[in-house]
Structure 1
Amino acid sequence: MRYLLGIDIGRYSSKGVLLDESGAIRATAQRKHDMRVPGPGLAEHDALQDWWEGFRTLSQRLILDSGINPAAIAAVGCSGIGPCALPVTEAGKPLRPAILYGVDTRAEVEIEELNAELGAPAVLARTGNPLTTQSVGPKVRWLAKHEPDTFRKTARIVGCPTFIVHRLTGRWVVDHYGASCYTPFYDLAAKDWHRETVERICPVDWLPEIAWTTEIIGYVSTEAGGETGLAAGTPVIAGTIDAASEAISVGVQRPGDLMIMYGTTAFFIQVNADLVVDSRFWAAPFLFENTWSVMGGLATGGGLTHWFRKEMTGLPDEDSSFQTLMEEALTSPPGANGILMLPYFSGERTPINDPQAKGLIFGLTLAHRRGDIYRALIEGIGHAIRHNLDGFAEIQPARSIYAAGGGVQNPLWTQCVSDIAGVCQNVRQHTVGAALGSAFLAGIGCNIFAPEDIDRINPIVSRIAPNEADRNRYEADHVAFKVLYANNKATMRRSRAS
């Protein structure tokens, strides 16, 4: 029996899965970590403590819990939070905490500078992506301006999967999907770094080699084997960003397939037969040659429910606290007794791409209770998700929509999305997510699995259909949701958090 090991490094935790060659899950493991917020608009991870320690610990635990011989692991796949900007030395030593993806909004000025230098239309045409807080290039420019000592010592700028793969194999590699997020560095037509643009910001040799996601790019070193419990010589694939791996885990791979990922942030990937460039969203090659994707993402999601529980309730950090809040929210009717919430507590990514957007709770009265506010929070995220889905439908109507991520276990959240957006969502048997996707991609890389095998390994077990009566109620609320942002956008820009 051969096995595939997959590990995903997320925003607040890391997860691991061990698959056998039949596709059965033999072991799972999870390790919590934290996201550092050293100031307003800042979001960081410690690459050694959060990324590598997460991978190392979970690898050991999966091998120990399953009781398998490490030599029976046919390949390893890793996915991780992204896109991030981590400056490291040539030896791979982190020089500072990793600057995270779009939830870190520090590089607003640098985005404006680069748009002026490069031309926003030219950037969009070449990369398929507008410059936003999601982009790596402005964060590197910020580093050069604000931390020149660190910048001078830097030999590489890498993201999470690249960092892990280097620790395992000694090679610096990023997959095409991940490379496309290094805006404005990646040239979609050439599927390579655009040297002239890169060198306006940093040396081109700071960037990793580019490979396809499932390529075997190296083998576990003796040193890495000693740290992880893996056998030296175990093949390692290039890996990818967590959202793409999550999409694969629920069967998103054919044109028209769309994933809604319910995680700490909400994320969307739709597969297209052809390249589509839209300034509201992000474009990239998908994980296999000759496929394309369009993506979007909120700046919040499940993370907002954690914020509410921690800062607004006094409830303990336990799963039972969320159950309490859920029960209270279910006593509030659709529409949350007139409360409407904008979930822009960390700015917002797509489709408005506004790092200065602010959270807003509208319609409060003394008659409202905690359950009303919590339901309004869930519904606010649902309206933001619909805002994205409507945009995707304009590009290409979805053939099938799949729900993924830990939030699938929250029936109020998923039902609210179906009701607000008027869509049916397919739910697969396994919701362990990107870790399963990484193991499955490793299986493709070593020819144990074919892409279509995911339908057998992770079958559809349920569908979430919209409740038409509630959908009608939410229609007016959705119009009000968009008007509320439009009418307050200028005020949000004048009101800077301190």
Structure 2
Amino acid sequence: HDVTASALGIGGYGEAVVAIVAGTYSINETVATAPRIDARWFCRNGLRRGEWNNMSISPASAANYDWFLDTLCGSERAAETDGRSIHAIVGPEIEAALARPSTLLFHPYLFGSPHGRAASAGFLGLRGWHDRGDMLRAVIEGIAFNHRVHVDALREGFATREARLTGGISRNPTFVQIFADVLAMPLTVTETEEAAAWGAALCAGAGVGLFASPRHDPRDLAALGRTYRPDPERSAAMDKRYRLHCDIADHLAEAWPSIEALAEGGER
């Protein structure tokens, strides 16, 4: 229930809103007043009787970005001991990559996917002239694309008009704008360091009578939040890349089990 608490803590728990947690897992959830089931999401009790929390997830989110930094940016990671953030170091590289066309795509399935156990991560369209910034751009876009897989499923089942984002990625304005452009919907980030803790505190406070309900957040969330709106031109370009991302995943579905079998010394 920590992810439900996270949605509550960022003001994202409710109908017509998709609360997104970009962390180890790709968490995407929205609330409805009637149960609706689908293989693509969980449907479980909400905070109040008659509310249903619908959550579409997979273990394919920001952990891919952390893996890249830990595995391929070792020397820059060491520089953090001098007070320089690795995110500040690679940030300009990503910004430069976003300013130029790229054939590079990434499936963020290092630790799991929405396509079953056999699916694995991979770069596609990689060329010798691509640099680390291009690869990091592809990683962030791939993470956002995977969230869109889940958000699109929820949008098919429920009327949604906006999204709220939390998790480590939400601290980087460039990454948040990528999410807004990929999802093609307004995306709000609040100045909430520990969203799940806030949600738990709201529930506990309501339980002992401090708040009328867990939904009565005493903070001014409008003042604490910043809304990112999709840029029409960038959003259209991202949509094209997203659809290719999905098409390639569909084509790889038959190959992934054979790739996995290589670790077993056999073939499928």
TM-score (norm 1): 0.49
Q: Deviations over 1:250-305 (max 9, x none)?
A: 12333222201122322111001110101111111112222101101231222111
Structure 2 CA distance, aligned partners of 1:479 and 1:404?
A: 25
Partner-residue secondary structure (3-state), 1:332: helix
Q: 1:455-474 to 2 correspondence within 5 Å? A: 456-460=218-222, 461-474=225-238
Partner-residue secondary structure (3-state), 1:361: strand
Match of 1:438 in 2: 200
Q: Deviations over 1:11-57 (max 9, x none)?
A: xxxxxxxxxxxxxxxxxxxxxxxxxxxxxxxxxxxxxxxxxxxxxxx
Amino acid at match of 2:166: A
Partner-residue secondary structure (3-state), 1:331: helix
Q: Cα gap change, 1:446/1:301 in structure 2, threshold over 3 Å: closer, same or farther?
A: same
Amino acid at match of 1:332: A
Partner-residue secondary structure (3-state), 1:297: strand
Structure 2 CA distance, aligned partners of 1:327 and 1:342?
A: 23
1:282 to 31, 35, 42: 42
1:452, CA displacement in angstroms?
3.3
Amino acid at match of 1:468: P
Match of 2:8 in 1: 248
Q: Cα gap change, 1:485/1:308 in structure 2, threshold over 3 Å: closer, same or farther?
A: same
2:22 to 234, 258, 262: 262
1:413, CA displacement in angstroms?
1.9
1:419, CA displacement in angstroms?
0.6
Structure 2 CA distance, aligned partners of 1:307 and 1:336?
A: 25
Q: 1:269-348 to 2 correspondence within 5 Å? A: 269-314=29-74, 315-316=76-77, 318=80, 320-333=85-98, 337-348=102-113
Amino acid at match of 1:418: A
Match of 1:29 in 2: none
1:387, CA displacement in angstroms?
1.4
Q: Cα gap change, 1:259/1:251 in structure 2, threshold over 3 Å: closer, same or farther?
A: same
Amino acid at match of 1:437: G
Q: Cα gap change, 1:335/1:422 in structure 2, threshold over 3 Å: closer, same or farther?
A: farther
Match of 2:216 in 1: 453
Q: Cα gap change, 1:336/1:380 in structure 2, threshold over 3 Å: closer, same or farther?
A: farther
Match of 1:376 in 2: 138
Partner-residue secondary structure (3-state), 2:165: strand
Match of 1:216 in 2: none
1:469, CA displacement in angstroms?
1.2
Match of 1:224 in 2: none
Q: Cα gap change, 1:438/1:289 in structure 2, threshold over 3 Å: closer, same or farther?
A: same
- Among all aligned residue pairs of Structure 1 and Structure 2, give the percentage whose two residues are the same amino acid: 22
Amino acid at match of 2:148: R
Structure 1 CA distance, aligned partners of 2:13 and 2:180?
A: 22
Partner-residue secondary structure (3-state), 1:276: coil
1:458, CA displacement in angstroms?
4.8
Match of 2:177 in 1: 415
Q: 1:128-139 to 2 correspondence within 5 Å? A: none
Match of 1:490 in 2: 254
Amino acid at match of 1:415: Q
1:477, CA displacement in angstroms?
0.8
Amino acid at match of 1:427: V
Q: Give the number of the structure whose residues are more often helix, by fraction.
A: 2
Structure 1 CA distance, aligned partners of 2:44 and 2:177?
A: 30
- Give the conservation status (yes or no) of the 8 Å contact 1:249–1:458: no
Amino acid at match of 1:326: G
Q: Indicate the structure (1 or 2) with the bigger Cα radius of gyration.
A: 1
Structure 2 CA distance, aligned partners of 1:346 and 1:248?
A: 27
Structure 1 CA distance, aligned partners of 2:60 and 2:149?
A: 14
Q: Deviations over 1:220-275 (max 9, x none)?
A: xxxxxxxxxxxxxxxxxxxxx21011011012333222201122322111001110
Partner-residue secondary structure (3-state), 1:447: coil
Unaligned residue ranges in structure 1 (runs of 5+): 1-240
Higher RCO by CA contacts (8 Å cutoff, separation 6 or greater): 2
Amino acid at match of 1:244: T
Unaligned residue ranges in structure 2 (runs of 5+): 264-268
TM-score (norm 2): 0.89
- Give the conservation status (yes or no) of the 8 Å contact 1:425–1:465: yes
Match of 1:61 in 2: none
Q: Deviations over 1:396-432 (max 9, x none)?
A: 1214321222321022221111111201012223242
- Give the conservation status (yes or no) of the 8 Å contact 1:339–1:373: yes
Q: Deviations over 1:189-214 (max 9, x none)?
A: xxxxxxxxxxxxxxxxxxxxxxxxxx
Amino acid at match of 1:412: T
Structure 2 CA distance, aligned partners of 1:389 and 1:268?
A: 6
1:334, CA displacement in angstroms?
6.0
